[in-house]
Amino acid sequence: MLRSRIIPCLLIHDGGLNKTEKFKPGKYVGDPLNAVKIFNEKQVDELMVIDIDAAVKGRAPAFDVLRNIAVESRMPLCYGGGVTTADQAAKIISLGFEKVSISSAAFQRPELIRQMAVAVGSQSVVVTIDVKKNAVLSGYTVYTHNAQKKQKMSLVDAMHQATELGAGEIVINSIDRDGTMTGYDLELAKLARAAVDLPLTFVGGAGSTDDMQKLIDTVGVVGAAAGSMFVFKGPYRAVLISYSRPGNLEY
């Protein structure tokens, strides 16, 4: 039976872990392998690893780094960043990752979604869509390349396209809520849930397990991902890696 997943999201920048706020330059929070070791002990549902430099710099995935992460990890892994070919996706899966996420490439060359689905199976293909609430018009604007490039396609159309081309999961990332720890954008979550039947994961805004429970109560079975909540402690945001689930989740 499907159940909700609680997912730490680790951002790799310049070889180290970084935590952004609204996609702006963030704070160094440690070494990726050390974080993986800690999350192993916490029995994490799934770990999302995103290289935020790769697409912006036109760089391929750092396969050596990914190999080390996969060897160390005892939990399901999803990787995103710089993937532009189905062969790269297949190599990442062969290293021990369960899923591969694409974002900018899904808009630059949508057919890649179908090619990846053929190569590794739809269940391993994730499309991540970064969105910002439109202050003038109703709805949300889609961005890529760390919120540097605006896309003309609407969020709903992008979700439909990903579904039709064979994606197995869609991640919705709120640029406005990134790193704020003020709660998920529940209106965004409801909009996305109404658009497609695919498994969904939401990231951006989680500051507590209560925020995650509200998301689950709003949209049902879902992936509730977070970054700051799992790496910061207290009002001064001291770095302390932790993991917790909403108390009434069934496992």
Q: Helix 155-165 to helix 111-120 angle, to the nearest 10 degrees? A: 40
Residue-wise pLDDT for 183-215, tens only, equals 999 999 999 999 999 999 999 999 999 999 999
Report in angstroms the alpha-carbon separations of 90 from 38, 46, 66, 85, 93: 27, 19, 13, 9, 5
User: pLDDT per residue over 110-129, tens digit each?
Assistant: 999 999 999 999 999 999 99
List the chain domain ranges: 5-234
Residue among 72, 119, 113 at smallest CA distance from 94: 119
Q: How confident is the model at residue 249 (pLDDT cuts 50, 70, 90)?
A: low
Q: What is the CA radius of gyration of the chain?
A: 17
The catalytic residue positions are: 130
pLDDT reported for residue 236: 67
Q: Tokens in use for 115?
A: 């090619």
Per-residue pLDDT band for 240 (boundaries 50, 70, 90) equals: confident
The mean pLDDT of 228-251, rounded to a whole number, is 80
Question: With 70 as the cut, is the pLDDT of residue 161 above it?
Answer: yes
Global pTM value: 0.95
CATH superfamily of 5-234: Aldolase class I (3.20.20.70)
